[in-house]
Amino acid sequence: MPLFSSIGPETVAVFIPILFVMGGVLIAVTAVIINGRNKDLEHRERIIAMEKGIAIPEPPVAEKKPVHSARRAWGLVMSGIGLTLTIALGVSQGFENGVWGLLPLGIGVGLLIAAALDKKELSEMVRSEKTHNMSM
């Protein structure tokens, strides 16, 4: 006899949102703890450097990624989800229901187009800065 045979679909349906909320809270708490530990480690490093009379190390500067890389990543994810949904729903329930997968697919394609335009604008801006600096 399976372990969870007495659990009905209604019970599972109630627990799904509860588990998602608990998972989100767990991820947020973990991020806060890890961020606090990193800051504590940096603080200890500075205190030890001051005690020893060594120059205080500069905090690491996080390099900011261009906007187009995040849009490209999300565009690929959304396109993949949309394509998968379109195929899965189209095969299992017919093409009428498969069109719902076109929504995330369209969003993903839009994000990919926006990423391409952002990248083009960024490269033009860098190129114009280089020509401006060379003319001085």
pLDDT, mean of each 10-residue run, the chain (136 residues):
70 88 96 95 89 82 77 92 90 84 93 91 83 70
- CB-based contacts of 67, cutoff 8 Å, min separation 6: 118
Cβ proximity of 98 and 87 under 8 Å:
yes
Within 13 A of 66's CA, how many CA atoms are on the CB side? 15
Structure tokens that stand for 4 in this block = 């969870």
pLDDT score, position 67: 72
- CB-based contacts of 115, cutoff 8 Å, min separation 6: 68, 69, 71, 72, 75
Model confidence, pTM: 0.53
DSSP 94: -
